[in-house]
Structure 1
């Protein structure tokens, strides 16, 4: 797992609306990088919509929100359109970025084991260092907690 104080691993991924996004292009801004398991599922939809609803506050704090899942770009396009998400969703189908951040893990559900995304959020500061990590995120109240951290810890 990538930890607080470390340089955030750089990446370039395809995103919705035919965008190509590199983390390094956001140097000088705070970045909320959240990994989620799957488009259109209840928890992931709630999380994305919470980030959408608080997007103006993040923007005021010079903070960019980026979501990453193993879904393909076509799935992201539908998810963004359906829920009017104002931030990019990045496709990591081969889970290389998830692995670089340590969030591609062995999961268990109903006695079955499989590899998948552990819902995790990273706040990356303007210098490209990881300022905070939330693992095994519980969606309810999470976005407000992330916003509060940025307000209190990253606003000089």
Structure 2
């Protein structure tokens, strides 16, 4: 497994297909990390749509949408499932963040979170508005996740002056 980006370094740019649920529409598009410059981005890698821990994690982040917005940050969920699966997942749980499809796990590999057997380790990468990695957490087992409060605390320290 690659080590992935290091703290203080520019993270690898990528473009992935995905979508975001807005009202009743699931708007599909490509998401490019470098196009989000100027805002902090929480990259939330998760093993799978509609699994118990992943559902709890993404629902907690979605319910904290206003907290992230107040910190000038956005959350992108990334997993190996396709965009159709992400749409069903977002609709079933009212998820309000973009869900990106890393079907070949190329981005998971580049970020050092691809894992044999489970596919992708649960991981968080906080990317600053300048594109540098400010904080990361890669779960060993993935049965728990970083809370909204933990992420908000980390994000409050990287706001643009």
TM-score w.r.t. structure 1 length? 0.90
Alignment equivalent of 1:119, drawn from 94, 118, 122: 122
Aligned match for 1:14, one of 17, 24, 29: 17
Deviations 1:15-60 (A, max 9, x none): 0232111001100000000100000000000000010111101001
Q: 1:100 aligned to 110, 128, 142, which one?
A: 110
The 1:22–1:3 alpha-carbon spacing in structure 2 relative to 1, beyond 3 Å, is same
1:82 deviates by 1.0
Q: Which runs of 5+ in 1 are unaligned?
A: 107-113
Q: CA deviation at 1:81?
A: 0.8
Partner in structure 2 of residue 143 of structure 1: 148
Whole-angstrom distance in 2 between the partners of 1:140 and 1:101: 18
- Specify whether residues 20 and 139 from structure 1 end up closer, same or farther in structure 2 by C-alpha distance, changes over 3 A only: same
Residue 55 of structure 1 corresponds to 65
Equivalent position of 2:54 in the other structure = 44
CA RMSD of aligned residues (A): 1.4
Cα offset for 1:101?
Answer: 0.4
Give distance in 2, aligned partners of 1:138 and 1:150: 23
Report SS of the residue matched to 2:95: coil
Q: Does the CA-based 8 Å contact 2:102-2:108 persist in structure 1?
A: yes
Q: Does structure 2 retain, via aligned residues, the 8 Å contact 1:46–1:139?
A: no
Q: SS of the residue aligned with 2:78?
A: strand
Give the SS at the match of 1:18.
Answer: strand
What residue is the counterpart of 1:154 in the other structure? 158
* Structure 2 runs not aligned, ≥5 long: 20-26
> In 2, distance between residues paired with 1:41 and 1:12?
25
1:35 matched residue in structure 2: 45
Task: Measure how far apart 1:139 and its partner are.
Answer: 3.3
TM-score (norm 2): 0.87
